[in-house]
Structure 1
């Protein structure tokens, strides 16, 4: 079991999505500090999403980019279509998102088996020959364009269905700086590229002394690129999921 005695670890996940990792950290003797850099908020206006819903019966695939997309789209889909349109195939970016879909009664979900990102989903055989197919992507406002761009290059007709928005609930990182100054912060967990951008924006592009001194643990090599470019100390978990993140945290050593 990981030993995190005397460790102080900030978790930047949205509120409500850090419970298990917090439990694991504290069971290993560490102290978890909630510092969400992403908050999930509903759209101010769902009229455009409702218009996109009208296209669903003509689609071949619906891809969910995150569990947040499932939580914000599926209730509206099921309110409009019961059952969902026949022949519609479901895909998820990874097992957490697939599990969320299962809570809505969806089975037979296409998902990657090792890496859990757009690249891994696009590499699956089912996503190779999609010319002429309609693909509906449920996601938050903005985000990466790789999925849609690649599918369009392969001849698919792609529709974005944006069903939530992400905001930064923090105004500054003063709390983390103060904790570090008092010897009560040594590591920050960041599990999304957007949260990493917020963290860098609030630390003078990663140049503030406190963030130069702590370690940052991430769950994907892509998230590590920006902080490493600023000379920050970044460790990448060997696999997705909280257990792998716990192992990553256990490898952090004092400077």
Structure 2
């Protein structure tokens, strides 16, 4: 830990799923902060494995395979690669750079992804997803249960045949929010980092009146405008919008005026 860093003496909550929390937590520690890992979403394999098995069986029929998150990679690639090598004619696509890296870790290269904004809108703006490129072709979207339908709906409007494959499911923190309340009461919770609107909704739903009052006072750093909008809709006002991914969150934490 860097005792002279900009986050010295600050406890920052990392709410990413546990498997994705370490890089951000390490970055906070490098800036002098004390990371408190508290996943707002627990990730597990989909309750029904059949949709994934069916997609794997016909993978070579697809022209494009989109992975919504690193979790989508982790919960689908082992089944895909257990059947054989990645099909030569199948173009992989990802919403964010973390997902690109997760694919690369499994040996899947040549992935297309946005280079700045990391969302469905930015992915849809890539030339490889234009109407003339996807019309009449099959697209597989590997994702969690539920989620936004914008990507699938837009690709269908562009003439693609789209299958959405739920390969993992999300749930709220199983142990409740007692650790956060204890940290707030002890005066050692200075900020939260939140990268999921769904996770933030889980948190607000689980907090009692005391917890919501603490949350209202606490800076909440979010890496996407849509999450900021959802936070405001949930009644939060102390929201700091950062650039995308862990690097953007860390830059926002480092630049924040903690004495204000």
TM-score (norm 2): 0.90
Aligned to 1:102: 104
1:157 aligns with 2:183: no
Mapped contact 2:242–2:249 kept (Cα < 8 A): yes
Aligned to 1:71: 74
Aligned to 2:34: 31
Q: Quick check: 1-10 or 96-105, which moved more?
A: 1-10
Distance (whole Å) between structure 2 residues aligned to residue 194 and residue 83 of structure 1: 34
1:47 aligns with 2:40: no
Aligned to 1:216: 220
SS at match of 2:239: strand
Distance (whole Å) between structure 1 residues aligned to residue 230 and residue 85 of structure 2: 44
Aligned to 2:188: 184
Deviation of 1:178 after TM superposition, in Å, equals 2.4
Deviation of 1:166 after TM superposition, in Å, equals 1.2
Deviations 1:77-111 (A, max 9, x none): 1122x223341111111211111111222221111
SS at match of 1:150: helix
- The one of 97, 116, 126 equivalent to 2:118 is 116
The verdict on how the C-alpha distance between 1:52 and 1:3 changes in structure 2, with shifts beyond 3 A counting, is same
- The one of 89, 92, 99 equivalent to 1:90 is 92
Q: Segments of 4+ in structure 1 off by > 3 A?
A: 204-207
Deviations 1:184-229 (A, max 9, x none): 1121111111111112212359982111111100111111112223
Mapped contact 1:36–1:170 kept (Cα < 8 A): no
Deviations 1:51-73 (A, max 9, x none): 22233222110111111111111
Residue ranges of structure 2 left out of the alignment (5+ in a row): none
- The one of 234, 244, 253 equivalent to 1:249 is 253
Q: CA RMSD in A?
A: 2.0
How many residue pairs are counted as aligned between the two chains?
253
